[in-house]
A = this chain, B = another copy of it.
C-alpha cells in the first residue's frame, strides 16, 4: 500500500500524520509550533517527526503541508501573522532537501476545505466555504468543484476581511478584520470588554489567563456575559458570512475548529444573525454546518490529498 504524509501547521501546534490510500491516519504526532526561534530548526522537528511515524519503511508518495499563508505556486509560507517567523519561508525547498519526495503546500484552511470535500460533509458539494476558527480565522473556498487559489495562490483570506471599519486591531496590523473578533483571542477580548456590563454574573473559574474553553464552561453554567460574548461573535461572523455569500454563493458554509462545538452559544445565534444580514435572494439557500470531521484530522487529510 502507498502512503502520504500530511502536515497541519497551526498557530499553536503542528500535527504530522501518515495517511493510507483509504484516507485513514495510521499514525500521527504533534509538536509545538512556537518552540524554535529559527525556522530551519522547526523544520528539523518536522523531519524528525516524519521519520518517527514512518518507522516501518512504508512506501511514501509525497508530503502535503497545510500552513497559514502557504502558497501552492511557490512552495512557501509568506508573511504569516500567526507564525513566529517573518518574511518568506521556503518550506517546500527545505522539506524536499530532507526527503527525496514531492512536496506540496497550501493554506491550512484550504487543506481543511479539501479534507471536508474528500472525506467530510462537502463530499457532494461543488460550491462551499470552510471557515476555520482557532488561533486565527482562516478560510478555504470551493467554486465549481475546485479550491480557489487566485492568481497568486493567496485567495481565501476571509479572516482578514474588514468587517468593522476602524475596528479592533488585528494581528495583521490593520483595523477591524473579523479575525480580531472571531479568533480565540478575539472572543476572549470581547468577553473582557463585556464584563463591566455584567457585574452581577458569577465568574467562578475565571483566571488571569482566560481562554475560550473557560468562557464556554461559563456559558454552560448560564453566565450572561459569556453567552453574550458568543452572541456578539456570532453577530459579527454572521455579518461577515452574509458578505462572503455575495461573492461565490455557496451551498453551505462549514464552521471548523474547536469553538464550533459551542453550537448552542455560537452556531445557532450565527444562523439567526445570518438570516438578518443576508441579501434576500440568498435567504434560505445557504446552510451553516459544523465540520463533519475530527478537528485534529481534517487538515492532515486535506494536506495529504495535495499529493497526487
Chain A residues in the interface with B (C-beta under 8 A): 69, 78-79, 125-127, 141, 143-144, 146, 148-158, 160-165, 172-174, 239, 242-244, 246-251, 277, 279-282, 285
| C-alpha spacing A87/B79, complex, angstroms | 47
Tell me if A155 and B248 are in contact (CB < 8 A): yes
Q: Which of A149, A160, A174 has the most CB of B within 10 A?
A: A160
Tell me if B154 and A143 are in contact (CB < 8 A): no
Closest chain B CB from A195 CB (angstroms): 23
Tell me if A162 and B277 are in contact (CB < 8 A): yes
Partner of A146, one of B144, B165, B174, B239: B144
Closest chain B CB from A245 CB (angstroms): 8
How many of these chains are in the complex? 2
Known contacts A174-B279, A243-B243, A248-B247: A143-B148 contact under CB 8 Å: yes
Tell me if A151 and B127 are in contact (CB < 8 A): yes
Closest chain B CB from A175 CB (angstroms): 9
Q: Which residues of B contact A251 (CB under 8 A)?
A: 151
Q: Which residues of B contact A243 (CB under 8 A)?
A: 161-162, 243
Tell me if A249 and B174 are in contact (CB < 8 A): no
Tell me if B249 and A279 are in contact (CB < 8 A): no
Tell me if A247 and B155 are in contact (CB < 8 A): yes
Tell me if A246 and B173 are in contact (CB < 8 A): no
Known contacts A243-B162, A244-B247, A247-B141: A174-B127 contact under CB 8 Å: no
Tell me if A249 and B155 are in contact (CB < 8 A): yes
